[in-house]
């Protein structure tokens, strides 16, 4: 981790005021991260892989002002133009976590202005794209302070920092398929930062649509952080981590072969395994709503009848991501508009980049 340490300069090579703007995509995991190592900060218990999503992103403007005297962190946060004091504790916790690696943060007053392309209340996780875009802005400051900083290091450290804000955020630094968490079959994979998926991907998996069916817009009953923590005493946890690691091996082979049916079976199994863990935690809880199940039923029916490649995945909520090859989008949108839209509060069309 020492590679990410910032060696303090006596004099800063940065203007005393300025702004950096960065955009980050949201992501949807195919193999899910659910469970963190005890007594370690943001270290996953299994490796995960996600697609970054076009159309679903956060733009963050980080406005900085060099302070006369170094004091503690100073930050104000605005979401879509409205000041959000409720976001400050999370940002301060993030700044504390990364301060060892970015000691310069104490030397500035910051204003963070952030906007999501998706509605804040839509139940779509914004922490991945927002923490990732903030980490990229911070790295822009570091690049000014260390002009010799290499591009590869810029993204690695951005991913490392984003992870300390929210685990899945470290995958939002890169487009395409992104892996986080050490796995024996994936060269370069590690627990500290995410890497772009390094192996061959069949062309069918480079043009995948993702339509998000928003079933429930209310905030989650239980935060992801709490859900991860509950894995530490889930009686099925060990098997789940083993299974996730095996699924990663299966996915590597599927991505190479271009087998959509195997892909679909795997991602649906992963999504339901995540929910099985949620339902068997103590305390147990349920994220799916009746309309989530109605949608899953219809998707299975439609697939049986039409033999079209349409598959679902879920995050830790009620909303459904439908994944399909973009070349089949016309049929799929017909299904969505005719048979599924009545179960949804909103429909967000996206695709995997
Ligand atoms: C179900 O990254 O939101 O979306 O690290 O506590 O911020 P924290 O959790 P978070 O967990 C995401 C869990 C998931 C699966 C995934 O994206 O891999």
Report the C-alpha gap between 208 and 50 in whole angstroms. 12
Closest-CA residue, ligand 1 atom 5, reads 167
| Distance from Cα 244 to the centre of ligand 1, integer Å | 15
Would you say residue 26 has pLDDT above 60? yes
Q: Which two tokens stand for residue 164?
A: 């300390």
Torsion of CA 247, 252, 256, 261, to 10 degrees: 10
| Rg, C-alpha atoms of the chain | 21
Report the C-alpha gap between 39 and 335 in whole angstroms. 47
Cβ–Cβ < 8 Å for 25, 56:
yes
- Least Cα distance to 260 among 194, 311, 215, 191 occurs for 311
Would you say residue 12 has pLDDT above 90? no
Segment (H or E) for 31: strand 17-31
Would you say residue 161 has pLDDT above 90? yes
Q: Domain coordinates of the chain in residue numbers? A: 2-196, 207-351
Please give the pLDDT value at position 87.
92
pLDDT band at 83 (very low <50, low <70, confident <90, very high): very high
Q: Is the CB of 316 under 6 A from ligand 1?
A: yes
Q: Is the CB of 132 under 6 A from ligand 1?
A: no
Please give the pLDDT value at position 5.
80
| Distance from Cα 163 to the centre of ligand 1, integer Å | 10
Neighbours of 222 (CB within 10 A): 16
Q: Is the CB of 225 under 6 A from ligand 1?
A: yes
Helix, coil or strand: residue 227: helix
Mutation pick for ligand 1 pocket among 45, 193, 223, 316 (CB with most ligand atoms within 8 Å): 316
Sheet holding 320-325, edge to edge: 311-314, 320-325, 208-214, 346-351
Would you say residue 233 has pLDDT above 70? yes
100-114, 162-176, 208-222: segment of lowest average pLDDT: 208-222
Q: Is the CB of 98 under 6 A from ligand 1?
A: no
Topology match between the domains 2-196 and 207-351:
no
Atom of ligand 1 nearest to the CA of 316: 1
Q: Is the CB of 228 under 6 A from ligand 1?
A: yes
Would you say residue 252 has pLDDT above 90? yes
**Could you tell me which residue, 92 or 353, shows the higher pLDDT?**
92
Atom of ligand 1 nearest to the CA of 228: 6
Structural class in CATH, domain 2-196: alpha beta
Q: pLDDT for 284-326, tens place per residue?
A: 999 999 999 999 999 999 999 999 999 999 999 999 999 999 9
Please give the pLDDT value at position 10.
64
Please give the pLDDT value at position 121.
56
What average pLDDT does the chain have? 94
Q: What is the CATH number of domain 207-351?
A: 3.30.70.890
Long-range contacts from 292-298, C-beta under 8 angstroms, 24+ separation = 292/215, 292/318, 292/319, 292/320, 294/343, 295/213, 295/215, 295/320, 295/340, 295/343, 295/344, 296/320, 298/335, 298/339, 298/340
Q: Is the CB of 224 under 6 A from ligand 1?
A: yes
Mutation pick for ligand 1 pocket among 228, 231, 270, 288 (CB with most ligand atoms within 8 Å): 228
Contacts of 13 (CB under 8 A, 6+ apart): 144, 145, 147
Would you say residue 45 has pLDDT above 70? yes
Q: Is the CB of 319 under 6 A from ligand 1?
A: no
Closest-CA residue, ligand 1 atom 4, reads 315
């Amino acid at each position: 981790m020492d590679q990410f340490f910032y060696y303090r300069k006596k004099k800063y090579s940065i203007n005393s005021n300025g702004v950096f703007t960065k955009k980050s995509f949201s992501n949807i995991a195919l193999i899910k991260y659910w469970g963190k190592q005890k007594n370690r900060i943001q270290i996953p218990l299994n490796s995960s892989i996600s697609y970054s999503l076009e159309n679903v992103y956060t733009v963050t403007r980080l406005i900085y002002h060099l302070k006369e005297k170094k004091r503690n962190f100073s930050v104000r946060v605005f979401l879509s133009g409205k000041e959000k004091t409720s976001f400050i504790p999370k940002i301060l916790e993030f700044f504390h976590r990364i301060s060892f690696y970015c000691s310069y943060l104490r030397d500035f007053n910051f204003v963070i202005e952030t906007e999501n392309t998706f509605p804040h209340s839509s139940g779509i996780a914004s922490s991945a794209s927002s923490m990732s875009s903030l980490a990229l802005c911070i790295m822009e400051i570091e690049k000014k302070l260390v002009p010799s900083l290499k591009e590869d290091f810029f993204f690695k450290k951005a991913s490392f920092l984003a992870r300390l804000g929210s685990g899945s955020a470290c995958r939002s630094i890169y487009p395409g398929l992104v892996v986080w968490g050490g796995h024996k079959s994936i060269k370069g994979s590690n627990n500290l930062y995410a890497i772009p998926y390094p192996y061959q991907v069949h062309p069918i998996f480079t043009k995948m649509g993702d339509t998000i069916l928003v079933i429930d817009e209310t905030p989650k009953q239980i935060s992801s952080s709490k859900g991860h923590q509950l894995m530490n005493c889930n009686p099925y946890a060990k098997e789940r981590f083993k299974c996730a690691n095996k699924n990663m091996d299966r996915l590597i082979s599927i991505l190479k072969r271009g087998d959509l049916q195997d892909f679909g079976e795997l991602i649906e199994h992963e999504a339901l395994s995540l929910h099985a863990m949620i339902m068997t935690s103590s305390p147990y809880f349920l994220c799916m709503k009746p309309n989530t199940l109605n949608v899953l039923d219809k998707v299975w029916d439609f697939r049986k009848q039409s033999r079209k490649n349409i598959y679902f995945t879920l995050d830790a909520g009620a909303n459904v991501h439908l994944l399909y090859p973009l070349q089949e989008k016309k049929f799929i949108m017909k299904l969505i508009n005719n048979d599924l839209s009545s179960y949804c509060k909103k429909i967000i069309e996206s695709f995997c980049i």
